[in-house]
Chain A
């Protein structure tokens, strides 16, 4: 169980080529991580979609031949995913765009930024159980 290991917070980092074909890998990895923490099936499918959307938004900046870096900071109740791509400018986020509407529905919090030559999107994904104030480890009992 990731759960016990992750009590104090664990990190997972994944670097893939900046290519749409690898978005699936990120999606699947995120879903697999969420499944091992106590996220519900709905949460997991939302996370799958959110990671895919965020990664695709970043890929729109171009960046062919570079890399997409996905960092997951885990606690038992929340995954904070930061996906970044080398770029001279930040992602032009229009906060009332459809894409942003999708991300902000799926994630508890989301923002975009630019640091060290990389544009990033950060998604905070909180489990439904945590929101319902159920101790995650006891969910199955």
Chain B
């Protein structure tokens, strides 16, 4: 009962002017620092600090609302940032806790967006549209024996042509995460995504590659090289390559763009 009242107390004071919060925050950090780690008192102080600073998380999260992610999710990842800040904060640094914590909280929220794979702000409506475009493209490609036009997609999905074109543009912003990258945790056990993709280079054996190009292509990862050769030397369409490699046509387009860019940079005179 006492504990409950104390928590309410803390929440009430979070509503009072900034100074009161800062004083309360300093007191709690002093208390936290003076108690043995993991002792009940320390855990209580930590808990109180979390509650005291939740409005800060809320404030940070609101700066990122309307970007296609639910506010609750942002508050949740922001709170992880708050917990990290509380555990790392040292009163002797002489800075206010809020000054210290804000970048960490915002960092967690940004990381959430990055991990979700969106490179730029894309409204939820467009994300859903992108999924519809992807499945409709696959379906219509089967039916027509060629990739569909945006107009055919709009008829199939039941939206306007402009929406399809907008959706295709947003698809280009999706997932800039490299498939070569392991997981962010730094866990070496995690297999790279590219390792899970099968590689069958049989049909590429017939491709004639000029000697001058060989060293250049050697520098590419096997899948990038394969997609490049299929497109520019076997003359397969992006949709055919997508079916062959088992990724979406949009993804083929992005990989081609990226590989060409890399080749161009390596070709530039030194």
Contacts and interface: CB of A to CB of B under 8 A. Distances in A.
A45 B155 CA distance: 20
A38 B168 contact: no
A42 B223 CA distance: 20
A45 B249 contact: yes
Determine chain B's interface SS by DSSP, over half rule.
helix
A94 to B, nearest CB: 10
Interface residues of B, number: 38
Contacts of B165: 32, 35-36
B150 A41 contact: yes
B268 A41 contact: no
25 contacts: A32-B169, A35-B150, A35-B161, A35-B165, A36-B165, A38-B151, A41-B147, A41-B150, A42-B147, A42-B237, A43-B147, A44-B168, A45-B238, A48-B253, A48-B257, A52-B260, A60-B268, A98-B267, A99-B267, A101-B232, A105-B235, A132-B146, A139-B151, A140-B149, A140-B155
Interface in A66-93: none
B210 interface: yes
A31 B137 CA distance: 16
A25 to B, nearest CB: 12
A40 interface: yes
Interface residues on A, range: 20 to 34
B69 to A, nearest CB: 24
A111 B138 CA distance: 34
Given A32-B165, A101-B232, A41 B153 contact: yes
Given A41-B147, A49-B257, 14 more contacts: A35-B150, A35-B165, A41-B148, A42-B146, A42-B249, A48-B172, A48-B257, A52-B260, A53-B260, A96-B210, A102-B232, A102-B260, A105-B231, A140-B154
